[in-house]
Amino acid sequence: MATVENLPSARAERPIGFGRLKRKEDARFIRGKGTYLDDISLPGMMHGAMLRSPFAHARIVSIDTSRALAHPNVAAVVTAKDLETLGLAWMPTISYDTQAVLAGDKVRFQGQEVAFVIATDEYSARDALPLIDVEYEPLPAVVNARKALDADAPLIRDDKDGQTSNLASPTWEAGDEEATDSAFAEADTVVSRDIIYPRCHPAPLETCGMIADFNPETGQLDIYNGNQAPHAHRTVYAHVAGLAEHKIRIMCNDIGGGFGNKVPVYPGYVCAIAGSIVAGVPVKWVEDRTENLVSTGFARDYVMQAEMCSKDGKITGLRVDVIADHGAFDSTAQPTKFPAGFFHICCGSYDLQASHVKVKAVYTNKAPGGVAYRCSFRITEAVYLVERMVDALALEMGADPIDLRMRSFIGPEQFPYETTTGWTYDSGNYAETMKVAMGIAGYEDLRREQVEKRARGELMGIGVSFFTEGVGAGPRKHMDILGLSMNDGADLRVHPSGKAVVSLSAQTQGQGHETTFAQIVAEELGIPPEDVQVRHGDTDKSPYGLGTYGSRSTPVSGAAVAVVSRKVRDKARQIAATMLETRPEDLAWEKGRWYVKGDPEKEALIEDIAVRAYSGETLPEGMEGGLDAQVIYDPPNLTYPYGAYIAVVDVDPETAEVKVRRFIAVDDCGVRINPMIVDGQIHGGLAEGIGIALMEVITFDEEGNCLNSSFMDYLIPTALECPDFELGETVTPCPHHPLGAKGVGESPNVGSPPAIVNAVIDALHESHGVSHIDMPCTPARVWAAMQGRPEPPQ
């Protein structure tokens, strides 16, 4: 199925390496032959369904399961009391908090897990849910992050010893407060904004689910589950359930999208495992769409107060104070040595004099999460904030937003560049990338068109954003999750026939790993990509590592695969030297072969070396047979991809509907292994960014009822809302990554919302005096802003 076109190769008959290789994995997907979780059925398998709380905050007075248990097809009903006997009533979150698996004392958000039914089929399991009688005593709820800090706010986490308020964290700080005060004192222009990045949801098209299959005779627990970090999940289950880690096997087959939503461990998973242990049969649990939207990992929900200043036409300082809404349980995903996630990368792409950032987290009666939605640990919020503030500053100064950015960029000669919050950016040439975007957009022409349209009363906006991201978490000296280093393994085995299997700890959810990682081996060893099998997703058959999220697959796992390939290549060199009766240092490498320097006809092809490695013939002194290697890769730094995005929008003056007419995205993600897949990643992230900017939002009423609990009201862009994206590229290799790659998956989601919002404001500022609007820019909210009464999203 894999076909190759236009691939550079030293030897024409051996088309290998980087390029627009069509995907290997397509073969099964276009035939409807993928294996997603719900496609799997095991003999004797039963089905689980979850009873959820109708209240956002209520004391549980009693739970009576007798009517449900009387249902002829129901095998068991599990409640918190049952879990307590197994020690499973509460589980740790990835932020060192605790989360109720099933609510026992009270419910703390609408949709919280209360009881788990196991029945012979899914329809019966769901039929039994209303037969469980739960008596609730409703309590006042709080869903607004600021109000959660009021003295009279209801205390949500009364289960925690010593918890007397809804603060979920101390105040985290980064940067230099004093230096920032000085920068502001010396500034000639200062702007301030209250900016909300509203709660939204990754909403992968396949919802979350699990099949747990516990064998009481052997103590073996087999888990089928689509998650983004199978090895880390296995470790968590070993701790939570007190099971032996070596007897837990997680098998992730095909995953219908993740975007961060499939990083956490959810109560439904623990219930499926407990259910299988209790019922003695495999138990499948698959949530429906409403369950996915109301209970699983949301994203964002940052309430930000910011000030930015400039001096002599250049951005000099930034001050930020954030309240992070973490919901009822703090299960936000973040490397724990940086408790505010990567938010404090918020100094952006600019050579600031100083910055100071504060973040504190609160509990509210909303679903837990705070996972990424195609975002590295709060970088999206940071980029949105800084790019909105730069535009606010440009507006105040009467400057062109691109000119202000150009004047303030970190210069190419300043890399490696240490930011005012302590991050070391690896490489970049920002102005160059901005110019490419301006060229594709025809920026000057667009501004002229805008002037003409304004004269006719038409509302056209041009919005710019320039982002720098830190991805590829991460160096073990700086970061970990639950004490696990954020490293990734790769295991490469070249077989006697010269064909290879590479096993990864990264976990694709559609990113094309089976193709890209085969290309890396191909590039490094000269084995054609169709002869390299990429194995992942089975904890028994892949090395340990932390999985795929935060654009870390290529920066970490990709590097691991390059390094392991080079280890094999080094071993091949030793063997080739024996074969060619020369010294290893006299050999030179060319894709697919070692040859004698100065005598290129004298060669050993990789497949011949493989035969030799497994044969009975002599190997170098002391060398073991075989052509295998294994590595665990610890990245020396994050990688810092960046990009320049320009959005062109039209706002209908009658309906306030925003139409994204054009979107120009110029990404610099370093070296591109498969440019076709990179482009595809950018297209997809841009669509998500358009969704977030214009329509995707999770809101609640005062009582904590979720108002966006299905795709009828959690709106996702279709083909009609997305323009024909226009892409460009610059390539600034990452200096510390073995392939020079930086990672790209989340860049378009990170960079596009501020460009669109900036464009909406640009369309409405002159005619309607709009200088701020919060997302999503729905017609109703844009209309309100046009009438001079902008509304916060919550």
Partner 1 sequence: MQVTITINGESVSRDVEPRQLLVHFIRETPGLTGTHWGCDTSNCGACVVLMDGKPVKACTTLAAMCEGHEIRTVESLEVDGRLDPVQEGFHEKHALHCGFCTPGMLMTSRALLDENPNPTEDEIRTAISGGICRCTGYKNIVAAIRWAAEQEAATRQGA
Strand-pairing partners, residue 381, are none
Closest approach of partner 1 to the CB of residue 78, in Å: 24
Annotated active-site residue in 319, 374, 593, 662: 374
Q: Are 412 and 349 in contact (CB under 8 A)?
A: no
Candidates 180-188, 249-257, 586-594, 618-626; binding stretch for partner 1 (CB under 8 A): 249-257
Cβ distance to partner 1 smaller for residue 290 or 705:
290
Structure-token pair, residue 500: 């290879």
**Identified binder of partner 1 from the candidate list 9, 26, 181, 738, rule CB under 8 A:** 26
Q: Select from 61, 70, 205, 623 the one that contacts partner 1 (CB under 8 A).
A: 205
Is 206 a residue that touches partner 1 (CB under 8 A)? Answer: yes
DSSP 555: I
Residue 204 as a binder of partner 1 (CB under 8 A): the answer is: yes
Q: Does 203 bind partner 1 (CB under 8 A)?
A: yes
649 exposure class (CB count in 10 Å sphere: 0-12, 13-18, 19+): buried
Closer residue to partner 1, CB minimum distance, 129 or 277: 129
Q: Is 73 in the site for partner 1 (CB under 8 A)?
A: no
From the list 257, 270, 218, 231, the residue with the least C-alpha distance to 78 is 270
The Cα-based distances of 453 to 232, 448, 508, 793 in angstroms read 55, 9, 46, 30
Catalytic: which of 200, 271, 347, 375? 375
Instruction: Give catalytic status of residue 791 as yes or no.
Output: no
Strand spans (E) along 226-346 = 248-251, 283-286, 302-311, 314-325
Number of residues that bind partner 1 (CB under 8 A): 56
Using CB under 8 A as the binding rule, the residues of this chain from 702 to 721 that contact partner 1 are: 710-712, 716, 718-720
Nearer to partner 1, 23 or 612 (CB): 23
What's the token pair of residue 245?
Answer: 């880690």
- Note the helical H segments in 4-103: 26-29, 66-69, 80-86
Q: CA nearest 251: which of 279, 216, 282?
A: 282
Q: Which stretch, 84-92, 94-102, 416-424, 671-679, contacts partner 1 (CB under 8 A)?
A: 671-679
Site residues for partner 1, 499-528, by CB under 8 A, read: 509-512
Q: Which is nearer to partner 1, 202 or 370 (CB)?
A: 202
Examine residue 31 and tell whether it contacts partner 1 (CB under 8 A).
yes
Cβ-based neighbour number of residue 33 at 10 Å? 10
Query: Apex CA 47: angle with CA 43 and CA 49, to 5°?
Result: 170
- DSSP secondary structure, 217-247, as one string: TTTEEEEEE--S-HHHHHHHHHHHH---GGG
Q: Does 659 bind partner 1 (CB under 8 A)?
A: no
96 lies in the binding site for partner 1 (CB under 8 A): no
Amino acid at 356: H
Which residue among the candidates 99, 110, 112, 228 is catalytic per the annotation? 228
Say whether residue 28 binds partner 1 (CB under 8 A): yes
CA 19 to chain centre: 25
CA distance 550 to 229: 12
> Which lies closer to partner 1 via its Cβ, residue 455 or residue 719?
719
Establish whether 374 is a catalytic residue: yes
Binding of residue 259 to partner 1 (CB under 8 A): yes
Cis peptide before 738 (omega within 30 of 0): no
> How many angstroms separate the CA atoms of 358 and 322, rounded?
6
Nearer to partner 1, 257 or 280 (CB): 257
375 catalytic per annotation? yes
Smallest CA-to-CA distance from 524 within 571, 574, 579, 589 is with: 589
Residue 135 has a CB neighbour count (10 Å cut-off) of 11
CB-based contacts of 583, cutoff 8 Å, min separation 6: 577
Q: Given the complex with partner 1, which of 589 and 663 has the nearer CB atom?
A: 663
User: Are the C-beta atoms of residues 746 and 686 closer than 8 Å to each other?
Assistant: no
Q: Does 32 contact partner 1 by CB under 8 A?
A: yes
Q: Spot the catalytic one: 405, 746, 777, 781.
A: 746
Q: Report the candidate in 548, 481, 485 with the shortest Cα–Cα distance to residue 514.
A: 548
What character string, x for contact with partner 1 (CB under 8 A) and - otherwise, covers 37-56? -xx-----------------
Is 29 a binding residue for partner 1 by CB under 8 A? The answer is yes
Q: Among 26-34, 242-250, 330-338, 595-603, which window interacts with partner 1 (CB under 8 A)?
A: 26-34
Decide if residue 538 touches partner 1 (CB under 8 A).
no
Toward partner 1, which CB reaches closer, 33 or 337?
A: 33
Which of 8, 10, 33, 246: binder of partner 1 (CB under 8 A)? 33
What is the contact mask toward partner 1 in residues 672 to 691, using x (rule: CB under 8 A)?
Answer: ----xx-xxxxxxxxxx---
Residue 761, Cβ density class (10 Å: 0-12 exposed, 13-18 middle, ≥19 buried): buried
**Residue 1 lies near partner 1 (rule: CB under 8 A):** yes
Which one-letter DSSP state was computed for residue 130? G
Distance CA 85, CA 765 (A): 62
Binding mask 269-298 for partner 1 (x = CB under 8 A): -------------------xxx--------
Instruction: Tell which one of 42, 179, 482, 722 touches partner 1 (CB under 8 A).
Output: 722
- Active-site residue set: 228, 374-375, 746
**Site for partner 1, rule CB under 8 A:** 1, 22-23, 25-34, 36, 38-39, 123, 203-207, 254-257, 259, 288-290, 509-512, 676-677, 679-688, 710-712, 716, 718-720, 722, 724-725
